[in-house]
Structure 1
Amino acid sequence: MIRLNQILLTLFVSCSMLLTATAQSDDRFEKIENQKIAYITKHLNITTSEAQRFFPLYNQYSKSMQNIKSAKSNLRSHQHEHQNSDMIEFDSKEVELKKQYRNKFAEVIGAARASQFFMVEQEFKDMLYREWQSRQNR
């Protein structure tokens, strides 16, 4: 019964993410993002009711983090034009954003799972990287 609930939850979350995806989204990106959501749901044991509140927050967090990383990347590519800019400022912004959203996530899924979220997210990224590497070595 619990397994069925997790499968239904994963399908629900995946479908809702597909419906809210922007028209410019690359099909591959959507698939990866859906896999990430399913991975997070499974590893944090997020219930259906928690998912309805958690994933809108997650989407906000993800968008904000992407904006910071994009600005950081842009600075890196134009470093010669911005000699006074400090990359540590962007690292600090990332940490502050994580702290802010850890508190928001904790209101929905509890403090322990909110803290664990960042580890689960990194595990997923590591898994993707290993997959990519294995494809490159074929």
Structure 2
Amino acid sequence: MKKIALILFVSLMSWSSFSQNSDKREKIKALKVAFISERLALTEAEAQKFWPIYNAYESKKDAQRRTGYTKQQQISEDMSEASAKAILNDLITLEKERQNTRIEYIESLLKVMPAQKIIKLRIAEDEFNVKMLEEYKKRHNDVKKKP
């Protein structure tokens, strides 16, 4: 099963290199779903409750990331003290929202699956991110090596 998932992962990653960005994001999401599903070995009942919570959390996290990026773009060296304080206050608020979102997410997950699987989820997400970074570095180095 792991070999099949690995082959699927590699083949989809190479196929996605020829796609547009939105297609790449969708393929990466599909790979992530497959990776997490395999690692967690969710029961059907757990999966039906888990994925809506997970997807809602990911959407909220993406929105918060975009908001943070927008705030970062407003920062400049020649801004007024009032503007700087306002942006810092907004960033503090955003960090608190991120923390609260994460806490609510974990509490929601605890209602539908064992704590051990939540820990495994965190590990699986970290492993997936490492694999994606390694794949990116490999592709980036391959592009640099070509004449």
Take 2:96 and 2:124, find their aligned partners in 1: how far apart are those partners?
21
| 1:50/1:108 contact within 8 Å kept | yes
* Alpha-carbon displacement from aligned partner over 1:37-75 (angstroms, at most 9, x marks no partner): 111111122122211111011111001001111100111
Take 1:39 and 1:91, find their aligned partners in 2: how far apart are those partners?
28
| 1:68/1:90 contact within 8 Å kept | yes
Aligned to 1:14: none
Corresponding position: 1:109 with 2:113:
yes
Aligned to 1:37: 33
TM-score (norm 2): 0.69
Q: What is the one-letter code of the residue matched to 1:92? A: K
Take 1:43 and 1:123, find their aligned partners in 2: how far apart are those partners?
10
Residue 123 and residue 52 in structure 1: after superposition, are their counterparts in 2 closer, same or farther (change >3 A)? same
Q: What is the one-letter code of the residue matched to 1:54? A: F
Q: What is the one-letter code of the residue matched to 2:120? A: Q
Displacement of 1:126: 1.9
RMSD: 2.1
Corresponding position: 1:57 with 2:61:
no
Aligned to 1:67: 63
Take 2:46 and 2:140, find their aligned partners in 1: how far apart are those partners?
38
- Structure with the greater alpha carbon radius of gyration: 2
Where relative contact order (Cα < 8 A, 6+ residues apart) is larger, the structure is: 2
Displacement of 1:115: 3.5
Aligned to 1:127: 131
Q: Which residue, 14, 28, 47 being the options, matches 2:24? A: 28
Corresponding position: 1:92 with 2:93:
no
Q: Helix, strand or coil for the counterpart of 1:108?
A: coil
Aligned to 2:84: 83
Unpaired segments ≥5 residues, structure 2 = 6-20, 143-147
Displacement of 1:136: 0.4
| 1:43/1:120 contact within 8 Å kept | yes
The total of aligned residue pairs comes to 116
| 1:106/1:113 contact within 8 Å kept | no
| 1:44/1:117 contact within 8 Å kept | yes
